[in-house]
Amino acid sequence: MGIQWKGVMPAVTTQFTANDELDLELFKINIKAQLDAGVHGIVLGGTLGEASTLTDEERRVLTRETVALVEGKVPVLMNIAEQTTKAAIALAKTAEEDGAKGLMMLPPMRYKASDAEVVEYFKAVSNSTALPIMIYNNPVDYKIEVTLDMFAELLEACPNVQAVKESTRDTTNITRIKNRFGDRLAIMTGVDTLALESLLLGADGWVAGLVDAFPAETVAIYELQKAGRIKEAIAIYRWFMPLLELDISPKLVQYIKLASVYTKIGSEYVRAPRLVLQGKEREEIVTIIEDGLKTLPTLPDYKNLSVLV
């Protein structure tokens, strides 16, 4: 299966037990909820997947289990967030062996690499695999920006670099990318609070976070705007915004996992050094979640819309 860079692709959470082991049963419940809602791909091991805390074997288990569960209905992508080129190449290799159909890639971790070093890093991994690659461009959180000039060099040298997870939080970047690269570089918006704006400006899809707790509402926004039913998409988006803002906090993992408890498709267990929410902070997040659930919108039959050409 080649990857069609469009639609909603959840950056899924990794489910843990109280004993800090993978909770594969609950993980599968969440993945099934995503598939039932009509998502277009699954991204494993991202920020929400607590990538930095997972062992290599846990990544492999998650990849194999997800590939088996989706049965080819949607592509499974593994995120690469490594400190060395050697480790990134090794992860790309095992992800392909385990059935992943694509990769999401961050620049090198911890070391603030130069532009040339970042480009060479991406080239080395790209040349080591046949898998299509989406570059995760998030200078706000990861302190390295992949500029348009860097993308130009990558796109010329690496045919399998096909998409960007655009998380600069500057929506004008979408137009700049389209103006410079046309359809050569697909754009997947990566910031929940800018998702609808980004889609309307020409982003091809949405690598989403709150989808882990509210899959149907997330996919409905995408499908409605695609069908030109913008007012309906905006109405759901406005309801969703207080919840979507949980995605842009340093504690997005804890916040979104707690939300998934309330929608019964996840647990709040996180891997240390993260801790589950306590005290006033927990009360504030619970209030946001409960207020959202009290006013949950009635969704149209978003899976059977006539799409504008």
| 78 Cβ neighbours under 8 A, 6+ residues apart | 43, 44, 45, 59, 63, 91, 95, 100, 102, 103, 104
Kindly state the average pLDDT of the residues 38-53.
96
Please tell me the predicted confidence (pLDDT) of residue 2: 75
Please tell me the predicted confidence (pLDDT) of residue 47: 95
Locate 91 and state its tokens: 């992860």
Q: Above pLDDT 70, what percent of the chain?
A: 99
Record: fold of 7-304: TIM Barrel (3.20.20)
1, pLDDT greater than 90: no
Q: Above pLDDT 90, what percent of the chain?
A: 95
Cα–Cα nearest to 221, from 242, 202, 203, 206 = 206
Name the pLDDT band for 110 (thresholds 50, 70, 90).
Answer: confident
Sorted by where each begins, the domain ranges of the chain are 7-304
User: SS3 of 125, please?
Assistant: helix
309, pLDDT greater than 60: no
First to last CA, the chain: 24
Q: What is the pLDDT of residues 261-301, one digit of tens each?
A: 999 999 999 999 999 999 999 999 999 999 999 999 999 99
Decide if 226 contacts 307 (C-beta within 8 A). yes
Kindly state the average pLDDT of the residues 37-66.
97
Please tell me the predicted confidence (pLDDT) of residue 307: 65
Residue showing tokens 């647990």: 267
CA atoms within 13 A on the CB side of 75: 23
Q: What is the pLDDT of residues 196-251, one digit of tens each?
A: 999 999 999 999 999 999 999 999 999 999 999 999 999 999 999 999 999 999 99
Kindly state the average pLDDT of the residues 183-202.
98
**What is the Cα 140 distance to its own chain's centre?**
16
Please tell me the predicted confidence (pLDDT) of residue 43: 98
Please tell me the predicted confidence (pLDDT) of residue 126: 98
Residue with more model confidence, 261 or 111: 261
Ramachandran quadrant class, 16 (left: phi over 0; alpha: psi -120 to 50; beta: rest): beta
84, pLDDT greater than 80: yes
User: SS3 of 170, please?
Assistant: coil
CA distances from 147 to 11, 106, 118, 158 (A): 23, 13, 11, 16
Ramachandran quadrant class, 71 (left: phi over 0; alpha: psi -120 to 50; beta: rest): left
| 277 Cβ neighbours under 8 A, 6+ residues apart | 251, 254, 255, 258, 268, 285
Q: How, if at all, do strands 186-189 and 42-44 pair?
A: unpaired
Kindly state the average pLDDT of the residues 171-182.
98
Decide if 103 contacts 129 (C-beta within 8 A). yes
Name the pLDDT band for 308 (thresholds 50, 70, 90).
Answer: low
Helix segments in 158-205, DSSP class H: 172-181, 195-201
Reported residue count of the chain is: 309
Residue with more model confidence, 302 or 307: 302
83, pLDDT greater than 50: yes
Neighbours of 38 (CB within 10 A): 18
**Cα angle for residues 275, 140, 282 (degrees, 5° grid):** 25
pTM of the model: 0.96
Q: What is the pLDDT of residues 30-43, one digit of tens each?
A: 999 999 999 999 99
Question: What does the mean pLDDT of the chain come to?
Answer: 96
